[in-house]
Structure 1
Amino acid sequence: MEFPHGKFVFFLLLLSLGTLSALSYTLFSPIDNYLVDCGSIVDSVVDNRRFVSDASCRNSYSLHSSRSASLRNENPHDVSPRIYQSARVFTRPSRYEFEIKEKGTHMVRFHFQKLNSSKFDFGDAQFHVLVNGFVVLSDFIGGEVVSPRVKEYLIWVDTEKLVITFIPAKKSKFAFVNALEVLSAPKDLILDTAEYVNSEKTDEFDGLAMQALEVVHRVSVGGPKVTPFNDTLWRTWIPDGEFLVSSFGSKRVYFSGRIWYQMGGASREVAPDNVYNTARVIRSTNASVPDVNITWVFPVAGGFKYLVRLHFCDIASISLGLLYFNVYVNGNLAYKDLDLSRATNYVLASPFYADFVVDADASGVLSVSVGPSNISMPYTIVGMLNAVEVMKLNNSMGSLAGKLPAELVLKSWPKRNIGVLIPLVAAACLLVSLSMLLRRRMTGLKNSLTWSKLPTDASGADVK
């Protein structure tokens, strides 16, 4: 029996699904949104975003500096974006203060590139940076930044202000910055719980949202570079080629269809379509399941914990319920028999991510692998990955760079002058001591030379 309006009903169903998907896609607009062009006298537009000159500080943010200078790049052939054509230079500890309207996680980005300047030798740029009591940079050498570099941090803010402090490493050094971004992050960007993975066990790691995080690597697997213009949070995702160490038996896949974001799952703010529509996969092409893994290795600093966020989206399977594989971090099994169909409520091309916290050892590397599990099936995809993010967690000292807490870093500036201060204080004390000693001696001499009046009833025989 044929329903005369069946095709029409099916068409309306597809139209409604497409409409709901379109309605759910709204551009993220941060409540706190500060884009600052440091050292410039005019605003700059980069990727359709306006960076406001810090020469005209608004009521919502301010610059506090007793010794700063604005510089322009003296190289006429530099084609870097406009925010890298100027810089604010600090020769003493200085700070920017931003009024915070929405408490929670904030994205803080620093833009650096040394300038050609006749006023400052950027070989002397060495400094520390603090953000709300966290040490984010220590002894940063700005003279080595020959091309635009972005340092990005995720900072939990529960105060009315976010304070960024620049401290020259020595009196002979200086600090600088080309541009700043302070943005309130989406609520679902950093969740409070992740899986802690080591060689002995897998356990829950709580309190993640309260940590300070430094974005160390943000990688799009199997795809091209994703620029801030094509990212919902203005991030950069670089290709995975330089980190890929074992890819035998794998291939890249590209997807031109719709990525289906779902309520409660990964959103476009977690990662954009351009990240989820590419991947590397392992495919079983015969009756056997290949015994191979794809492995990536990332350089990291030892002595810190790292958040490893892995992004998955099944854009390669021909049907649901066919994809099962294992995930390894630092050689340890982090996710056994991952079933993306179940994880995404049985929707193909729907994104999913998993967060793991791991320790970095003295080797200076962190590895990620995907490969077949015991329940992987022949003639199917038996492993895949779309993207990787690696973020450093602050240590027990509240630092992302070194072992000194913010209090000691702040005190390091006056301590640099202690060699001059001590002689001055000693000289002053010596002068005061000499003055008191001289006064006492003068007083004693005066007393010894003063005649006492003789008693009037004394006899002559009593006078010697």
Structure 2
Amino acid sequence: MKYRTCLLFSVLLITLLLKPSPALSEEARPPNPPPKAESLIISCGATEPETGEDGQSWQPDDKYLTSTSGGEPKAETAAFQDPALGSAVPFMSARIFESRGGYEFAVPTDTRVMIRFYFYASTYGTLDAADSYFALTVNDYQLLNNFSAAIASEALTQAYIMKEFSLLPSPSGVLNVVFTPSAGYKGAFAFVNGVEVIPMPDIFDDSPPLVGIGDQTVDLTTYGLQSMYRLNVGGEVIPPANDSAGLRRTWYNDFPYLFGGADGRSVYKKDVKYPTVEVPEPVAPRSVYTTSRSMSEDPMVNQKFNLTWVFQVDANFTYMVRLHFCDGEMTRANQRAFHIYLNNQTAQETADVIAWTGGKGIPIYKDYALYQNDKSGGNLWLALHPNTASHPEFVDAILNGVEVFKLNSVSKRSFAAPNPELSEMMSRVEDAREESSFETEGGGQVVGAIAGGATGLAAVVVVSAVVLHKKRRRTAGKSSRRSGSSNNWLPLYGNSHTSSKSTGSRRSTNSSHLSTVAQGLCRHFSLQEIKHATRNFDEAKVIGVGGFGKVYKGVIDGTMEVAIKRSNPQSEQGVNEFETEIEMLSKLRHKHLVSLIGFCDEDDEMALVYDFMANGTLREHLYKGNKPPLPWKQRLEICIGSARGLHYLHTGAKYTIIHRDVKTTNILLDGKWVAKVSDFGLSKTGPDLNAQAHVSTVVKGSFGYLDPEYFRRQQLTEKSDVYSFGVVLFEVLCARPALNPSLSKEQVSLADWALQCQRKGNLEDIIDPLLKGDINPECLKKFAETAEKCLADAGVHRPSMGDVLWNLEFALQLQENPKSAAAAAAAIGQKGGEIGGGNGGGRRRGLSTVDEEVSVLTSDDTDDSEIFSQIVNPKGR
């Protein structure tokens, strides 16, 4: 008993000795981290919480409203939802300020605040956004002045405008957001659809060097910043839900900002050591550092070119450019060293990512500042070039991400700059479309809707609202561009600030709006010559009808047969497509591109003249025509020819050219059955920022062929052409339209149905019955795999056109001589011709000898002078 008592006492004593005192316990315990400040995600004008596209909850704004100088702010609903909006939230509700008013938000006193504003220019009740001009201030910052969301949306061809700012900590702990309608404009008002207020860690605590001005630096801790561009270089769009630290930023693809045809190659590396001390998590999400863009694999080519991006900015402001790097390929210093230039000034003499980080796969970022004066113009140039002086192992450069921020002016703490201007071409396009807007947008729908009784009446109301809305938007666009706000921050594709006066007519005088190069390379026909060639536009000469207008067969110079596309004044297409076609085709010569002879632009008549094409369109020989069906080998050769033409557009021209409307009616066949890619009215350079037309965020193309990623994100890349071409491949194989509404729901879309059958292994059940027994099984397998890869949902996972071309040529080899082709593929390590990766250059590979087919401007192309035609697009775009 004594032993047991003693043992119990010992245990109790030890327990008491080991238990820390209350004071010691509190001292040893690490201090509690300060609670994270809450973000405010607000849907303005909403009456209850709403859920956005990414699952984010948007709260009503009423409890944050402040008193106004006269009249209470109103909540209104937009008249209609633009199809380009990914979600109704926060765009379909708005808070209207007809007098000075705004919001008051409580924020931390010791941290920066990111604040975003969303503006959707629509009709709200009796108010039209075209009449909205206002200023926006937050505490002592002037964010916008005399801003017009309607003008900005129209000039930039964007469905909505978003402005993002990073403001210094507020000592009072309050953000006073004030909207003030512009004085002097009758009926002017302010509106806003959404506001986000996000406390953020101070990721702008550096003092970057001021490029071109000695040893001066810029202390970012004393400036507010406006986000202008944020790009995930070489990778896909990163949506707000996937951003780091809850900052809800969007990182866009960089392709639209690349200058020239030297777009390098995209690289994906997942082995990133992230996060690190050098790059705290809020700076950028991990995805930014897993993708990159570097130069080509040819060191001789890389020495002659820069890897260049161009950004449109406002003059007379200082900008901070943040570059993100993470080299997942090199392992030691001086393997890849390069120069960094901003506006042709050296920002970094020798950039060596491995030397900076000390190892492979470690992220880092570098900041640089520069002043954009009037002489620099509206374009900020970023260029990388190999530093051959240091004799690196590889002649190359690399970049993972780029951000461009505008710093507020010092005197007024202002970010405000002028509203963007419509270019002269855009003004003429809008004028030409105004008169026909009801027919092209609503007429056809109303007829079908009326048959539905009450439903039909509702449809008529909706159509009328759409037409009225767009007509008002056009009216706003033609009004004077009053000075005011800065341009929209993302995405900007081209020259939105071109200042010119609209003629108010779509007629051009001596085609002065065309470049002198295009006019010099293209024959200018008189209207009398066109009428003579078509017997005064004789209906008997019509050989097709397209989105541009009717196509006539004609004869010029007595014997030469041509195809003449005449503009229809009521067409959905107009001056923009007309000029684009001339600018593109006048500078391109290739065996597999349709040849443009000349144009006519006189007395409100526009016409394009092509060589006549004897065998019409590819579609006519697949279905919906009375032409004899094509054998498999001939179909395959036509696909190869088309791929060569598209591959040349993407890689062989001075600038990367994106066709944007690849389909079987735009693949034409000459008298020798040589395929020619045609119809460049929607084409875009990638991008040629000197062109009048800017790369648009508005989705255009043909349903059934549209890249779903392009449709969702309005980010156009050459991989959009690859997707459309994948649909063409299945169309050739199955001999059915891309869309067939008469079929069951799962079969309506050829792309979806073919992919489903391919994955289930029963593709042979849906191929053209005329081809059964005619296709070598290995050839069919390779062809189907190629088409399937083209239809990958994400562009980064699709092959380049060079890879597609290689695989189609290999499929032809398998069709003609399967044993030899398989042996050759094994010999070069292709494992049976496996398709290339999603972002390979594919410029010249394996069996492809594309460059031998190419000649720009100087080619006589005598072998192909036979006859082309530009026929048929039964539906407008």
CA shift at 1:37, angstroms?
A: 1.1
Distance 1:131 1:287 in 2: 52
Whether 1:120 aligns to 2:132 is no
CA shift at 1:102, angstroms?
A: 4.0
Mark the CA change 1:239 to 1:287 in structure 2 (over 3 Å): closer, same or farther: closer
Whether 1:95 aligns to 2:102 is yes
Which of 329, 334, 343 pairs up with 2:356?
Answer: 343
Aligned partner of 2:315: which letter? G
Alignment of 1:36-185 (within 5 A): 36-46=42-52, 47-55=54-62, 57=63, 61-65=64-68, 66-75=71-80, 80-144=87-151, 145=153, 147-160=159-172, 161-170=174-183, 172-185=187-200
Distance 1:333 1:76 in 2: 46
Mark the CA change 1:375 to 1:283 in structure 2 (over 3 Å): closer, same or farther: farther
CA shift at 1:34, angstroms?
A: 1.3
Which of 282, 291, 300 pairs up with 1:269?
Answer: 282
The question of whether the paired residues in 1 share the 8 Å contact of 2:332 and 2:355 is answered with: no
Which of 301, 305, 309 pairs up with 1:292?
Answer: 305
CA shift at 1:149, angstroms?
A: 2.4
Aligned partner of 1:67: which letter? E
Distance 1:227 1:238 in 2: 8
Distance 1:205 1:74 in 2: 46
CA shift at 1:289, angstroms?
A: 7.3
Count of paired positions? 368
Output the TM-score relative to the length of structure 2: 0.40
Mark the CA change 1:280 to 1:202 in structure 2 (over 3 Å): closer, same or farther: farther
Match of 1:22 in 2: none
Distance 1:81 1:108 in 2: 21
Q: Which has the higher strand share?
A: 1
Alignment of 1:395-434 (within 5 A): 395=409, 396-402=411-417
Which protein is bigger by CA-based radius of gyration? 1
Distance 2:263 2:249 in 1: 31
The question of whether the paired residues in 2 share the 8 Å contact of 1:323 and 1:382 is answered with: yes
CA shift at 1:29, angstroms?
A: 8.8
Match of 2:315 in 1: 302
Aligned partner of 1:132: which letter? N
The question of whether the paired residues in 2 share the 8 Å contact of 1:195 and 1:202 is answered with: yes
Mark the CA change 1:284 to 1:165 in structure 2 (over 3 Å): closer, same or farther: same
Alignment of 1:299-448 (within 5 A): 299-317=312-330, 319=332, 322-344=335-357, 346-362=358-374, 363-377=377-391, 379-380=393-394, 382-395=396-409, 396-402=411-417
CA shift at 1:278, angstroms?
A: 1.3
Match of 1:438 in 2: none
CA shift at 1:202, angstroms?
A: 4.2
Q: After superposition, give the CA deviation of every residue in 1:281-336 in whole Å (9 maximum; x if it has no partner).
A: 12565699734321111111111111111111112325555222111111111112
CA shift at 1:383, angstroms?
A: 0.8
Alignment of 1:248-267 (within 5 A): 248=262, 250-263=264-277, 265-267=278-280
The question of whether the paired residues in 1 share the 8 Å contact of 2:292 and 2:399 is answered with: yes
Match of 2:488 in 1: none
Aligned partner of 1:332: which letter? Q
CA shift at 1:348, angstroms?
A: 1.3
Aligned partner of 1:399: which letter? S
Q: After superposition, give the CA deviation of every residue in 1:120-176 in whole Å (9 maximum; x if it has no partner).
A: 121111111001111111111122436132200010023221111100013520000
The question of whether the paired residues in 1 share the 8 Å contact of 2:76 and 2:125 is answered with: no
Distance 1:277 1:261 in 2: 12
Match of 2:254 in 1: 240
The question of whether the paired residues in 1 share the 8 Å contact of 2:330 and 2:336 is answered with: yes
Aligned partner of 1:163: which letter? N
Output the TM-score relative to the length of structure 1: 0.74
Alignment of 1:214-229 (within 5 A): 214-229=226-241
Distance 1:101 1:210 in 2: 17
Mark the CA change 1:202 to 1:282 in structure 2 (over 3 Å): closer, same or farther: farther
Distance 2:92 2:189 in 1: 18
Distance 1:284 1:256 in 2: 21
The question of whether the paired residues in 2 share the 8 Å contact of 1:30 and 1:183 is answered with: no
Structure with larger RCO (C-alpha < 8 A, sep 6+): 1
Which of 192, 195, 201 pairs up with 1:186?
Answer: 201
Aligned partner of 2:368: which letter? F
Q: What SS does structure 1 have at the residue aligned with 2:221?
A: helix
Mark the CA change 1:128 to 1:77 in structure 2 (over 3 Å): closer, same or farther: closer
Aligned partner of 1:180: which letter? V
Q: After superposition, give the CA deviation of every residue in 1:396-444 in whole Å (9 maximum; x if it has no partner).
A: 22111149xxxxx9xxxxxxxxxxxxxxxxxxxxxxxxxxxxxxxxxxx
Match of 1:11 in 2: none
Q: What SS does structure 1 have at the residue aligned with 2:281?
A: coil
Q: After superposition, give the CA deviation of every residue in 1:181-237 in whole Å (9 maximum; x if it has no partner).
A: 1111113x1114111112x5242222x122121111112211222211221221112
Q: What SS does structure 2 have at the residue aligned with 1:219?
A: strand
Q: What SS does structure 1 have at the residue aligned with 2:216?
A: strand
Distance 1:236 1:76 in 2: 22
Distance 1:378 1:34 in 2: 49
The question of whether the paired residues in 2 share the 8 Å contact of 1:36 and 1:53 is answered with: yes
Match of 1:417 in 2: none
- Structure 1 gap ranges (5+): 1-27, 404-408, 410-464
The question of whether the paired residues in 2 share the 8 Å contact of 1:247 and 1:293 is answered with: no
Q: What SS does structure 2 have at the residue aligned with 1:205?
A: coil
Q: What SS does structure 2 have at the residue aligned with 1:222?
A: coil
Match of 2:209 in 1: 195
CA shift at 1:45, angstroms?
A: 2.0
Q: Which has the higher helix share?
A: 2
Q: After superposition, give the CA deviation of every residue in 1:51-97 in whole Å (9 maximum; x if it has no partner).
A: 11013x1xxx4433343100112326755332111000000010211
Q: Which moved more, 1:348-357 or 1:76-85?
A: 76-85
Distance 2:223 2:239 in 1: 27
Q: What SS does structure 1 have at the residue aligned with 2:354?
A: helix
The question of whether the paired residues in 1 share the 8 Å contact of 2:324 and 2:402 is answered with: yes
The question of whether the paired residues in 1 share the 8 Å contact of 2:303 and 2:395 is answered with: no
Distance 2:307 2:386 in 1: 10
CA shift at 1:374, angstroms?
A: 3.9
Mark the CA change 1:103 to 1:40 in structure 2 (over 3 Å): closer, same or farther: same
Q: After superposition, give the CA deviation of every residue in 1:354-395 in whole Å (9 maximum; x if it has no partner).
A: 111101122111111111114554552621111111111111
